[in-house]
Amino acid sequence: MKELETMRAEVKEHLLGKILPFWMGLRDEEYGGFYGGLDYDLKLEKQAEKGCILNSRITWFFANVFLAYKNGLLTDADFTAHGYDAGQIRICAKQGFDFLKEKCIDRENGGIFWSLRQDGTPLDTTKHTYNQAFCIYALSSYYDAFGDESALALARELVQVVESKCRDDIGYLEARTITFAPESNEKLSENGILADKTMNTLLHVFEAYTELYRVTKETGIGEKLRWMMDLFADRIYNPSLHRLEVFFDADYQPLLDLHSYGHDIETAWLMDRGTQVLGDPQYEAKMLPITKDLTAQIYRTAFDGHSLANECDRGTVDETRIWWVQAESVVGFLNGYRADPSMQAYLQAAVSQWAFIRDHVVDAREGSEWFRAVDKKGCPLPGQPIVEPWKCPYHNGRMCLEVLKATQ
């Protein structure tokens, strides 16, 4: 398909010429890690808090770019054509890893903090399960990219923290204090709801454990993946509404009539990836009908032929086009097509979604990256930062890498 070949070429150029140089330029050479803020007017906020999620995701990103290079998806010529080399990718990945290991991890109480000041001292000492998961995710990829055994050892330490202090008999918990006492979950609660458990945290523990299992094949991690897939199938997935529920009480009873379009399309492909990595035919058979249903429902209800709405809260659709939702829809629709090649509509949806991103979500200003949000017509929503604790190269950088993998 000529359009797919064109998209691949454009996405590769976008990764090499826009996303990579932008994040390489945010290294904090004085205090380590990466700067935590760039406002809408492209003013660097050096004093902004350094989110540990942000630094985990940046570390993951550079490690996976290096993996793409090791696996032949990117070449020395690709890098040099844009004025840098693979060694600089390694340096950026190590900058993130060193910051996680030396500053973000609480060596006294265990686990990773929520955020730090610019100088690397703790700012928000909340220990959120979601945050532990992203550090495991980053460390697993870093180990795979560079063979650093200390990264794998630290990932295993965090798994022990999650399993001993951040879960109960039926699922994963949310916010904890610095010493892992219960704490209110404002950080991952929205829409007027304060949730005891969330689909979002469960999804990213699953994602992190998938990556750890991919690089270690540890039996215990495989069993946790099966357990989480059972949770998704039996507690999170709503077959009558063809969606995942989002916010729950402590017993996984839904708290809100909310359809999160971005999370559903992201879950569909991450769950398929998990079953492929696990290689268990029983769970492939169990989860594939669910992921196909989620993809189909998103295509029917949230995709307008060009881009994806944000969510539907109690019957009211939020038509804002959020950056990460657009990125995940490209990967999700490509995944849906690969699962069922008869669904040419999904392939066209991925191509059309990329065109919307290219023309409207990518910020063409020099020294910028993607807008955080645009309206349905593609006009940027002013005032929203280009970099903040949640805005990083995890979704859009991953989209680029996944497109390269899917079209090689």
Q: What is the pLDDT of residues 131-152, one digit of tens each?
A: 999 999 999 999 999 999 999 9
pLDDT of 2 reads: 86
Q: Would the pLDDT of 1 be above 80? A: no
Q: Give me the residues paired with residue 211 across strands.
A: none
Beta strands in 184-242 (DSSP E): 197-198, 237-238
Q: Which residue has the tokens 């995940």?
A: 328
pLDDT of 3 reads: 86
Under the banding of pLDDT at 50, 70 and 90, the label for residue 85 is very high
**162/130 Cα distance (integer angstroms):** 10
Tokens at residue 208, please?
């992190």
Number of structural domains in the chain: 1
- Structure confidence by residue, pLDDT tens digits, 170-196: 999 999 999 999 999 999 999 999 999
* C-alpha triplet 191, 386, 86: angle, nearest 5°: 125
**136/60 Cα distance (integer angstroms):** 10
pLDDT of 408 reads: 79
**200/189 Cα distance (integer angstroms):** 10
Using DSSP, state whether 380 is helix, strand or coil: strand
Q: Would the pLDDT of 49 be above 90? A: yes
Q: Would the pLDDT of 214 be above 90? A: yes
**396/34 Cα distance (integer angstroms):** 17
pLDDT of 303 reads: 98
Q: Which domain holds residue 220?
A: 2-406
Cβ-Cβ contacts under 8 Å for 394 (sequence gap 6 or more) = 57, 58, 60, 61
| CATH at 67 | 1.50.10.10
The residue among 398, 389, 386, 391 whose CA lies nearest residue 332 is: 398
Region 325-349 average pLDDT = 97
- Structure confidence by residue, pLDDT tens digits, 274-291: 999 999 999 999 999 999
Whether the CB-CB separation of 114 and 52 falls below 8 Å is answered with yes
**325/33 Cα distance (integer angstroms):** 26
Under the banding of pLDDT at 50, 70 and 90, the label for residue 339 is very high
Cβ-Cβ contacts under 8 Å for 54 (sequence gap 6 or more) = 34, 36, 387, 388, 389, 390, 391, 392
- Structure confidence by residue, pLDDT tens digits, 117-127: 999 999 999 99
Taking all residues of the chain, what is their mean pLDDT, rounded to a whole number? 97
* C-alpha triplet 156, 159, 160: angle, nearest 5°: 95
Region 372-396 average pLDDT = 97
The residue among 406, 294, 344, 363 whose CA lies nearest residue 14 is: 363
Crossing angle of helices 281-301 and 261-278, in 10° steps, is 160
pLDDT of 287 reads: 98
- Phi-psi domain of 6 (left: phi exceeds 0; alpha: psi -120 through 50; beta: other): alpha
Cβ-Cβ contacts under 8 Å for 164 (sequence gap 6 or more) = none
Whether the CB-CB separation of 38 and 44 falls below 8 Å is answered with yes
Under the banding of pLDDT at 50, 70 and 90, the label for residue 315 is very high
